[in-house]
Amino acid sequence: MSRLTGLALLLSAGIAQAAAPDAMLVRMSEAARDVNYEGVVIYQAQNRLETLKVVHGFRDGVELERVEALTGAPREIVKRDGKVICLLPRDRRFTLDRPTPKGLFPTLTPERMAQMATIYQFENIGSARVAGRDCRGIAIAPRDNYRYGYQIWADAETHVPLKVSLVARDGRVLEQMMFTEVRFPEEIVDARFDEALAEHEERIAVAEARQEEQQAAGDAGWRFGSLPPGFRVTMRSLRQTADGRGVVEHVVLTDGLTAISVFSAQQRETSVPVFEGQSRMGAVHAFGRVMGRVHITVVGEAPEETIRLISESVQLPEAGPGAPVLVDTAPAAGATPQAPD
């Protein structure tokens, strides 16, 4: 073998390895977190269309993000220090929460990709132009009927995802986020993120202290029975109800891409009926049920059967306050539900 032939083989092997879809997805995930970018995003779901202004920065290991709605009711979302703060300037209200995997792109690692390979398959789907920039595409297809698929188009230079589509098993696009214009500045000043929070700083500090007290006090944790393959509990938090008279427990389950939220709250004497049964809005399904005096609501961008199965797997705790959320063994991978509508 000549030196030239050997070099050519080395180069081709390196290109093939770099182009592997699982490795590309990890790079996209890192870029979505570590790269500075700003631009305008179009979000489309069913008959709903929104325009958003996005500013994203990463400094000293901290991710900062500000999303402002340019259409509809004025509202902003600011992510900083591992917290998500939702601002509603018109009536000066805000909510404080911890982030779920939902966002431009979830955090993926090679180890997590290896686990996800049992429930998803990954494929290169070529190139396209988004927001005037060359992009490379990856398709993520589920291996069962418990989850939807994705198509992601990432900037060829920075690897930041510029277009993300949620896709049904029959190929229909259920939801889509796409940059129509984007820039990648070397630096984004802190004021771009802080100015939206200035008038709320005192209230945010009070809310954070209250949230820590609630979390320390704990609530009766619940147990999950059989979950769909790949899903696991990744977050548990407590929050006050809108009237401040009660507490809602929030648990997030994810398979690495799909995130499902489970909310529980003690029922109170009221004439207002609680949500029970199934509901759907575009790609989002919800299922509500009452267990004793606890109202359980499961919601997420997943097929109807998945949401129902998770709701039915919730079991009331036998331990006292502060009991951990437990998960039993998931059903066999072959036990798949029928395809969603």
Q: For residue 339, what pLDDT is reported? A: 37
Q: For residue 327, what pLDDT is reported? A: 40
267 and 159 within one domain:
no
152 and 12 within one domain:
yes
Ranges of residues in the chain whose predicted pLDDT is under 70: 1-19, 89-104, 195-221, 242-244, 270-272, 317-341
Q: What are phi and psi of 312, to 5 degrees?
A: -70, -15
42 belongs to a structural domain? yes
CATH of the domain at 273: 3.30.200.100
Q: For residue 265, what pLDDT is reported? A: 87
CATH of the domain at 131: 2.50.20.10
337 belongs to a structural domain? no
199 belongs to a structural domain? no
210 belongs to a structural domain? no
Q: For residue 111, what pLDDT is reported? A: 93
Q: For residue 103, what pLDDT is reported? A: 53
Q: For residue 271, what pLDDT is reported? A: 54
236 and 175 within one domain:
no
Q: For residue 318, what pLDDT is reported? A: 59
Q: For residue 74, what pLDDT is reported? A: 86
Q: What are phi and psi of 111, to 5 degrees?
A: -65, -45
Alpha helices, H only, the chain: 3-18, 21-34, 110-116, 191-194, 201-217, 304-313
For residue 228, the enclosing domain spans 218-327
Q: For residue 199, what pLDDT is reported? A: 56
272 and 173 within one domain:
no
189 and 45 within one domain:
yes
Q: For residue 221, what pLDDT is reported? A: 62
53 belongs to a structural domain? yes
252 belongs to a structural domain? yes
254 belongs to a structural domain? yes
29 and 172 within one domain:
yes
265 and 182 within one domain:
no
Burial 60-77 (b: 16+ CB within 10 A, else e): eeebbbbbbeeeeeebbb
201 belongs to a structural domain? no
Q: For residue 154, what pLDDT is reported? A: 98
Among 134, 159, 194, the domain-final residue is: 194
276 and 135 within one domain:
no
Cα torsion 14, 159, 34, 209 to 10°: value is -130
pLDDT in tens, 298-312: 999 999 999 999 999
Tokens representing residue 169 in the block = 């098993």
155 and 280 within one domain:
no
Q: Is 275 left (phi over 0), alpha (psi -120 to 50) or beta?
A: beta
223 and 180 within one domain:
no
Q: For residue 196, what pLDDT is reported? A: 61
Q: For residue 77, what pLDDT is reported? A: 86
Q: For residue 120, what pLDDT is reported? A: 98
Please state the domain count of the chain: 2
